[in-house]
Structure 1
Amino acid sequence: MSMNTFEPNWASPPGATVLDLLQERGLQMKELAERAHRDVQSVTRLIFGVEPLTSDWAECLSNVLGATTGFWLRREETYRSDLRRICEAVGESPAEWMSEVPLKDMVKLGWIERGTSAHETALNACAFFGVTTSSSFERKYTRLMAASAYRASNAYATRPSAVAAWLRQGEIAASAVDCAPWNPDRLHASLEAIRELTLEADPNVFLPTLEAILAASGVAMVVARTPEGCRASGATRFLNSDRALMQLSFRYLADDQFWFTVFHEVGHLLLHARDEVFLEGLEDRNSEAEKEADDFALQNLFAKVGTEVLESAPPSLRSILRLAQNAGIAPGIVVGQLQRCGRVPYKHFNNLKARYSWAD
């Protein structure tokens, strides 16, 4: 009597079992992270199949969720084996069809593990994206890219696969953010509190506060550097009916650009269709939606004084500082907008802008 071994045409990460057991026991990812002595992002990456389930993880999961360490290690082995088998079954190497994906940057940024070979690194990227073939990659991200304004941008060397990687990192990181259900009224009521944050120059201070304000309105905020080939400074979209995502890259490393992007993205969330993806830095600046988001950002940043002052204020240091004080915003934002409307040359007053840097 012969028996055939069942080989599924899908690869389910052990994180799926972890998530089922967490829900069954009424536990939050945060609680698992605390018991495992890890951060929530690590738990999230495990659940998505991005972070390998090591013997340390197996022991932790056994203690918290049950089953033996052997069960968890076999679960990981089965997943990696299925992933490899399915990826190789179609006769195309993941390393080949992922040649446009910025794998080196994804490793450098800590999004995926570096494999012992280019093939293994590509398999790790398959786990990251949740795909197993080039066609599944295209199906999953073609709609996302088509829904975004990327299609209108031809000015820069932007690669769709790099944008997809950045957006996917946003999805994964957003799942670790504890959010209230989407509440547009609360978000609108929070604009003054967000505006006051512009006066704080230290991202270590204002980012946690901004994250908390947005989360209370149902918006998961994620800060993620962009890989080569992705020039986005921000993005907004709805992940589901109760949760929106605001993704920021700090691309320009200056307060005027950062805060304008924040208010611009809030504008998209409050004004525009929930099935759209908006990518700041890649979009058609002349589109109606982008003009509306720009106007929203400008009006709310200068809500205390009105935007007309940008046309009448003398372009002097004293005037800029006085205007910033009256508006309740950082002087760098005033400089940026005066530069934007042509009242001040782009090389003038840049010393008033707060500058940021990445801690590598």
Structure 2
Amino acid sequence: MAKNMSGLSREFIIHPGETLKEILEDRGMSQKELALRTGVTESHVSSVVNCQKDISVSYAKKLEYALDIDASFWINLQGNYDKELADFEDVNKISDEEFRILKHLNGIIKHLKQIGLLEQKLQGPMLVIQLRKFLNVSSLIRIPELSQAGAYRLATETKVDPYVLFTWLRMCDLITDNQQIEQKLDVSKLKEKIPPIKELMFEDVVKIQPRLKSYLAECGIRFSIVKHFRGAPVQGVIKKNSDGTLSLLMTTRRKFADIFWFTFFHEIGHIIHGDIEDKLIDYEFIKNEAEDRANKFAENILIEAEGYSAFIEKGDFSLPSIKRFSVEQNIPTYVLIGRLQKDGHVRYYQYRGEKVKYVMEEG
């Protein structure tokens, strides 16, 4: 008894010829008589009854006349048999390479199960099958080639794992697809929301994501924070949706609050500057004019440019001085410290007690 790797028996896949054989026996009709009634050879009928030949659409029509059983019955039987047989063979022909890819994706697969995008109990070949469906590919082996086409074009840096990144991007799509908002993208309203969004920098971390979602939804933007995985060095993804909205996703890779807010306003800069044609995958290592413009936007939103230049000219980077200037700018101290560290005015180990870490829940 042939069994596939999921435990199903090949013998449970019933050829339509077996049903035809039972009907002939019930009616006391010989294969020869059926051959005469349908205008085919007796050997043709014998081949069908013995499961050696399929029932074609044309022969299904002949059986409709000969047996008074609608052709659709036979066509459906044959279709179901073909589908079940294809499923059986599909499971048993999974290559070692696909199983290696599956093992390689173990971390992100575990997360997909935790958030309900993959079934918890699936493993082995059946997990490969479901992952193919999840990623809309006929084989996991196709991912590197597919990922270089169209909107899914991925970076070729050695830091990037095409399998992890492709799976991560699909996860991002599904997470934001589940968010329903009525407002289409409104960049003017987004600009108006920047001051109240900046006020969130003073809030407790648990309040930040739901408030950001609410503010951005009013501007036609679906927002979510997603888990980071090694092999997907992405700080943000922005995607145009068919309903006129945008999706903005940020990763949890960087835990410090100053980096979170700089990255957030960096992505907002991309949106305001109109940098998104279809999908913008904002890799951490990409440097170009659009990235420089988004960086400058984030810097100036967080700290007023002239005031910051004047502060730097004074050269007093003591903690009391930093705190006074932060109050003047109405920003948390950690924002200024992060900027000073980034610009090389203070060391990264300085003022550790003032740095704030965020532990954001994904979703």
User: Partner amino acid for 1:127?
Assistant: K
CA 1:271–1:83 in 2, change beyond 3 Å: closer, same or farther? Answer: farther
* Aligned equivalent of 1:295: 296
* Aligned equivalent of 1:105: 108
Distance 1:250 1:145 in 2: 23
Q: How does the TM-score come out when normalised to structure 2? A: 0.67
Q: Secondary structure at the match of 1:190?
A: helix
Deviations 1:70-101 (A, max 9, x none): xxxxxxxx9xx789839929955483484485
1:347 aligns with 2:354: no
What CA RMSD, in Å, does the superposition of the two structures yield over aligned residues? 3.2
1:123 aligns with 2:129: yes
CA 1:83–1:3 in 2, change beyond 3 Å: closer, same or farther? Answer: closer
Distance 2:228 2:177 in 1: 19
Tell me which of the two structures has the higher relative contact order, counting C-alpha pairs closer than 8 angstroms and 6 or more residues apart. Answer: 1
Q: What stretches of structure 1 of length at least 5 have no aligned partner?
A: 6-77
| Structure 2 contact 238–276 (Cα < 8 Å) conserved | no
CA 1:234–1:182 in 2, change beyond 3 Å: closer, same or farther? Answer: same
CA 1:223–1:86 in 2, change beyond 3 Å: closer, same or farther? Answer: farther
Shift of residue 323 of structure 1?
A: 1.9
Distance 1:212 1:87 in 2: 48
Residue 193 of structure 1 is aligned with which of 189, 193, 196? 196
Distance 1:331 1:256 in 2: 9
CA 1:106–1:251 in 2, change beyond 3 Å: closer, same or farther? Answer: same
| Structure 1 contact 320–335 (Cα < 8 Å) conserved | yes
Provide the identity percentage: 20
| Structure 1 contact 174–221 (Cα < 8 Å) conserved | yes
* Aligned equivalent of 2:26: none
Shift of residue 337 of structure 1?
A: 0.5
| Structure 1 contact 87–132 (Cα < 8 Å) conserved | no
Shift of residue 105 of structure 1?
A: 2.8
Deviations 1:297-354 (A, max 9, x none): 0111114864424523521111211222222222111111000111111110122121
Q: What stretches of structure 2 of length at least 5 have no aligned partner?
A: 1-37, 39-53, 58-79
* Aligned equivalent of 1:238: 240
| Structure 1 contact 103–125 (Cα < 8 Å) conserved | no
Shift of residue 356 of structure 1?
A: 2.3
Distance 1:3 1:356 in 2: 64
Deviations 1:5-41 (A, max 9, x none): 9xxxxxxxxxxxxxxxxxxxxxxxxxxxxxxxxxxxx
Distance 2:253 2:246 in 1: 21
Deviations 1:266-303 (A, max 9, x none): 01111133225434443323x11110010010111114
Q: Secondary structure at the match of 1:278?
A: strand
1:222 aligns with 2:224: yes
CA 1:241–1:117 in 2, change beyond 3 Å: closer, same or farther? Answer: closer
User: Partner amino acid for 1:311?
Assistant: I
| Structure 2 contact 144–162 (Cα < 8 Å) conserved | no
Distance 1:90 1:229 in 2: 30
Distance 1:349 1:244 in 2: 37
CA 1:359–1:235 in 2, change beyond 3 Å: closer, same or farther? Answer: closer
* Aligned equivalent of 2:317: 315
User: Partner amino acid for 1:234?
Assistant: G
1:178 aligns with 2:184: no
Aligned counterparts, 1:139-150, within 5 A: 141-143=147-149, 147=153, 150=155
Matched positions, count: 280
Q: How does the TM-score come out when normalised to structure 1? A: 0.68
* Aligned equivalent of 2:69: none
Distance 1:95 1:353 in 2: 44
